[in-house]
Structure 1
Amino acid sequence: MDKTQSRLRRARQTHIKISRLQIARLAVHRTNQHIYAQVFSPCGTKVVAGASTVESEARRQLDGKSGKGGNIAAAQLIGKRVAEKAKAAGIEFVAFDRSGFRYHGRVKALADAAREAGLKF
């Protein structure tokens, strides 16, 4: 079993539990260079809000900093942006889906920034 399969195996049970709860889901995906966050509707089929370090506006805000998309500062920015977009769409309560990644470093920074921006987990 390789690294990706192990992460997806860890994530599977979380996906099942959140789908039973029928509330919006804040899903996080990270790579070495970028971090992505999406808020899915309670039924789980529609993306209500999303933010990533690939977006041009986020790139402009991170311009001039080392490791533009793969650091904690970028994760905090994306957490704040996705929370603002979700609140604008009328979503205040979400379940945090770390997608099998450890709750540490960039994933934790994104979650904390989303909480500070007004999302309730």
Structure 2
Amino acid sequence: MANTKRDLFLKRRLRTRNKLRTLAAGRPRLSVHRSSKNISVQLIDDGEGRTLASASTLEKDLGVVGKNNLEAAATIGAAIAERAKKAGIEECYFDRGGFLFHGKVKALADAARENGLKF
């Protein structure tokens, strides 16, 4: 039986999350979601099951509505780092989901690191 692209994505996502859970040590999770039109990121506290901060290209005040390119990803990375600081979070772990750490996901992570978020 051949695996579909969706099946491979889901396997990759589960494998990534399970590896990260062992390293979590009570830190929040920086979860990335990328679609064909938008990119969004959330800081999630898995212990309490709530979102601590989030940023998305759907937010009008960030000025990248409906864009899904490297510049938009960098803007979202900087925004989530600022919001994490406001929430009192300095360290987290990066959950790329089933997405490869390449291109937009890498640009988001680099921008978040440059703006003070440690992972």
Q: Shorter-chain-normalised TM-score: which range?
A: 0.7 to 0.9
2:29 is the alignment partner of 1:25: yes
Once the two structures are aligned, what percentage of the paired residues are identical? 44
Rounded to whole Å, the distance in 2 between the matches of 1:5 and 1:114 is 29
Q: Please, what TM-score do these two structures have when normalized by structure 1?
A: 0.87
Residue 41 (structure 1) aligned to one of 27, 40, 45: 45
Rounded to whole Å, the distance in 1 between the matches of 2:48 and 2:17 is 10
- Deviation (angstroms), 1:5: 2.5
Q: Which residue of 1 aligns with 2:6?
A: 4
Rounded to whole Å, the distance in 1 between the matches of 2:95 and 2:48 is 12
Which structure 1 residue ranges, 5 or more long, are not aligned?
none
- Deviation (angstroms), 1:42: 4.7
How well do the aligned residues superpose, as a CA RMSD in angstroms?
A: 1.6
- Deviation (angstroms), 1:79: 0.4
Q: Please, what TM-score do these two structures have when normalized by structure 2?
A: 0.88
2:69 is the alignment partner of 1:71: yes
Moved beyond 3 Å, runs of 4+:
none
SS in 2 for 1:62: coil
Which structure 2 residue ranges, 5 or more long, are not aligned?
none
- Deviation (angstroms), 1:96: 0.5
- Count matched residues: 115
Rounded to whole Å, the distance in 1 between the matches of 2:79 and 2:5 is 29
